[in-house]
Amino acid sequence: MTMNLQRRKVALVGAGAALVLGLPLAVGHSAAGAPKPTPPEDGPTQIVRVETPTRADRNKVADLGLDLAGTVGVDSIDVIVETSADRAALARAGFSGQVVVKDVKAAERERVAADKAYAAAKPGGSTLPSRRTAYRTLADYGTEMAALAASYPTQARMLTLNHDSLEGRDVQGIEISNGVNASDDGKPTYLLLGVHHAREWPSAELVTEFAYDLLQNAATTRIQNILDSVRVLIVPVVNPDGFQVSRGGAYELKRKNCRLTDGQFPADGACALRANRALGTDPNRNYGALWNGPGASPFPTDETYFGAGPFSEPETQNIRELISSRQVVTMISNHTYSALVLRPPGWNGAETPADDALMTSLGDQMAAQMSYQSIRGYELYNTSGTTEDWSYTATGGLGFTFEHGTQGFHPQFATGVVGPYSGGTRKMPGGGVREAFLIAAESSANAARHSVIEGTATPGVTLRLTKTFQTEPWNPALAFPDTLESTLVVPASGAWTWHVNPSTRPAVTAAGGTETWTLTCENPAGTVLDTQQVTVARGGTATENLAC
């Protein structure tokens, strides 16, 4: 394992800073999920489908501290049951369920055998853009993204995010656009994320296939238009440590990251030990907006543990810094399983977002291609500290979660990845995941759905857009500063156009107020030559001719 000690120190400082935000963790949370030791072997691990006809039922199950697998529709929840204590917890709460997977380990063996048989029957490869017939390993993702960047040097480039994982791994992505290396095109950004949760392998597969698809079909009219207009960022594996534990076979149900003790790095190999399998922070409960709120747990052994503080984990620090430094107008965080397209808010007490109609329309369009339901996050059950809630709250960029499929975290490759990608099946009669991703890309290119700032300045100078504000966790007293900062180099013509998110965050808009971007112009030495305050609404254009 290659270890970047300096970057690990930065991640540790971030975790320590988060600990300063400490509070009585159990405030506002059910004691049902109190800390529990790693259970002894108690028969096979099963998945039990619990009928939850109302949202109150679903929230009640979610608050039990059990490991929620997914849903099929919104009238039931699948729960991972490892011990008799888990069964007793359901019974005490008044729930019974139907066993849908009798033995998770046996089901995984069957999946492996089925995937081998599928690969053997497809010597020419699958119908996927990459032709793959089996799930990738962690190493495969880095190797394949590097190969794509090398094969398409003017359209793709590799990204290494700012923070190593806790076990010292790079977190990598790929950026795709025509003229990808330009710094002066001002294009909007569309971000696709996979594997926040380690066991959700198709979430990485589907976004990687989309990278192949865009590059292989870049000359077709539709995709050429997208790549001329949008920068597509793809991070297949947000949580590489957890994924390695799950994909490597140590514990295939691993969900969280490898933070075994708040503020500390794990010892080598410790995350894969059975004694530590219940530990870790849930990256998708660690983002700043409403951190420590409903639908997340204060207990480190619960699968929705929210961590020591907002953005205490390198995984969430990476995505926070990526979104904060780019004009990400559309973000999709991919997961399994539930056949849902979720949009903010994740908590049912939150106000209806200012852009609810727009997000509903786009969510419905995307969901229709996959035969998924399109709902607000809380209509499933309450969540807090999620990716899309923070990204939308902080930037105004449209944010969604896709919960792919209904067959488990990583079903057979043919039915969990190959079929869903292009659709056209009985269960997915639309254009599939591919078409949903393309619809989001085209929406990202639509200036009526974000904002534009344009003007003139001296060629070669750097324009910088910044904004600093307070983000509120569940406890408003713990509000902390968030900063957005992105740059654009003025092209040789001196005329520039920058596609950006609105200057006013959704909460401010809903309250009837406005905010501004601070726009500065800097020479190559970094000296600020001009500063303007820019106010621009969604769908609006502001003109700023700078004195530099």
118-449: CATH number: 3.40.630.10
What pLDDT, in 10s, does the model give residues 466-520?
999 999 999 999 999 999 999 999 999 999 999 999 999 999 998 899 999 999 9
pLDDT of 228 over the 80 cut:
yes
Say whether pLDDT at 42 is over 90.
Answer: no
Question: What's the confidence (pLDDT) of residue 38?
Answer: 52
CA dist 264 → 8, 37, 272, 276, 483 (Å)? 10, 20, 16, 14, 26
Span 96-109, average pLDDT: 94
Say if residue 1's pLDDT is above 80.
no
Query: How does pLDDT run across 275-285, given as a tens digit for each residue?
Result: 999 999 999 99
The yes-or-no verdict on residue 88 having pLDDT over 80 is: yes
Asked if pLDDT for residue 39 goes beyond 90, the answer is no
pLDDT value of residue 428: 66
pLDDT confidence bin for 14, thresholds 50/70/90: very low
Classify domain 451-543 by CATH number: 2.60.40
Q: What mean pLDDT, rounded, does the chain reach?
A: 92
Mean pLDDT is lowest, of 200-204, 234-238, 423-427, for 423-427
pLDDT tens readout for residues 343-375:
999 999 998 999 999 999 999 999 999 999 999
Taking CA atoms, 528 is separated from 64, 462, 463, 519, 548, in Å, by 54, 9, 10, 10, 9
* DSSP H or E run through 157: strand 156-160
One-letter amino acid for residue 396 of the chain: G
The Cα 363–Cα 392 span in angstroms is 14
Q: How far, rounded to the nearest angstrom, does the alpha carbon of residue 149 sit from its chain's CA centroid?
A: 22
DSSP 456-521: E--TTPEEEEEEEEEEP-SSGGG-EEEEEEEEEEPPTTSEEEEEE--SS-HHHHHTT----EEEEE
State pTM to two decimals.
0.93
Residues 408 and 336: beta-carbon distance below 8 Å: yes
Any idea where the domains of the chain sit in the sequence? 118-449, 451-543
Does pLDDT of 9 surpass 50? no
Residues 277, 38 contacting (CB under 8 angstroms):
yes
Token code pair at residue 496: 């520039």
